Structure 1
Amino acid sequence: MHKWTKRRTAAIAGALAAAGLAITGLSATPAAAEGGKIQGWRIDSSPFRCDWGAVCFYYSPGAEGAIWRKYADTDYNLGDNKFWSNNYGSAGSGMQVHDNSASMDNGTGGTLWAWKNINMTGSVAWTPSGYGGNLGNVGLRNEISSYNVTY
């Protein structure tokens, strides 16, 4: 095979590989991983919304909008829980907590793990005791379906 034929064959093979990735919607570079630590604010800073001993999820970023609060270390399926309005906002009131949470606070004495799927599976966002943050910072805004607290 001549040199120019080898180069031409290699160029055609490369173009076909790139076209195949484009057609299938795949990328040659890996996607960014979802999940990780969020620690945007201390929950005892103003406005203080999540009681000590509680887990709180919010419909909007920055601990704003409607709130959902629970004094329990585990919820395997947030689909049966709904946000309610309060003095800090009503956006999202009546919506399911499942796949509608933009931020969270951890008022427990342990680490809060917020999971993408029910039954605590899939990607996870976590925050230490006394902190909260925006779920969008780790690619999980409107993606949380369950949570647990570990001590």
Structure 2
Amino acid sequence: MSRGKLSRRMATAAAVAAAGLALAGVATSPAAAAGGKVQGWKVSTSPYRCTGDVCLYYSPGAEGAIWAKTSFTDYNLSDNRFWSDQYGSAGSGQSVNDNAASQENNTAYTLYTYTGANMTGSVAWTPAWYGGNLGAVGMRNTVSSYEVR
């Protein structure tokens, strides 16, 4: 068999296999693969930006504009906006919904962030007193609600 014919057969076989996996629900998309433990740094690390129980940031590494809340739940982040402080302003005025790149949990409990409103969709969790980048678990710019429990 010629090299070209073999390459075409291998490509066809790979395409058929991929289609079969997709039909069986085995193939993963970014949304399907999203979620997991977000733990990159202790919130006691300077600068101490997170003055609420939960803080979301427009940029990775707890940078850019901030949104802080002293409540253990928010069912829909679409009515909240990032604001600037002395440490960052990128993203100030933007909706928090689907715009957070990092988060901090300034409580003694676990923070759960969700891709859907009303605590639905994929979930990421951050242990007590930790922060981290949402991109590490495929959830950058997808968070729509959270709860602490």
TM-score by length of 2: 0.82
Local SS of the residue matching 1:136: helix
Cα deviation 1:73-98 (Å, max 9, x = unaligned) = 00000000000000111100000000
Cα distance in 1 for partners of 2:74, 2:141 equals 17
Cα distance in 2 for partners of 1:17, 1:62 equals 39
1:131 is matched with which residue? 130
1:47 is matched with which residue? 47
Equivalent runs, 1:11-90 vs 2, <5 Å: 15=12, 18=15, 21=18, 26=22, 30-31=27-28, 33-51=33-51, 54-90=53-89
Cα distance in 2 for partners of 1:18, 1:125 equals 33
Following superposition, the deviation at residue 15 of structure 1 comes to 2.8
TM-score by length of 1: 0.81
What is the aligned residue count? 136
Structure 2: runs of 5+ lacking an equivalent: 1-7
1:6 is matched with which residue? none
What amino acid is the match of 2:72? D
1:5 is matched with which residue? none
Q: Percent identity?
A: 59
Cα distance in 2 for partners of 1:81, 1:17 equals 46
Cα distance in 1 for partners of 2:77, 2:54 equals 12
Local SS of the residue matching 2:61: helix
C-alpha root-mean-square deviation of aligned residues, in Å? Answer: 2.6
What amino acid is the match of 2:95? Q
2:4 is matched with which residue? none
What amino acid is the match of 1:91? A
Structure 1: runs of 5+ lacking an equivalent: 1-10
Local SS of the residue matching 1:15: helix
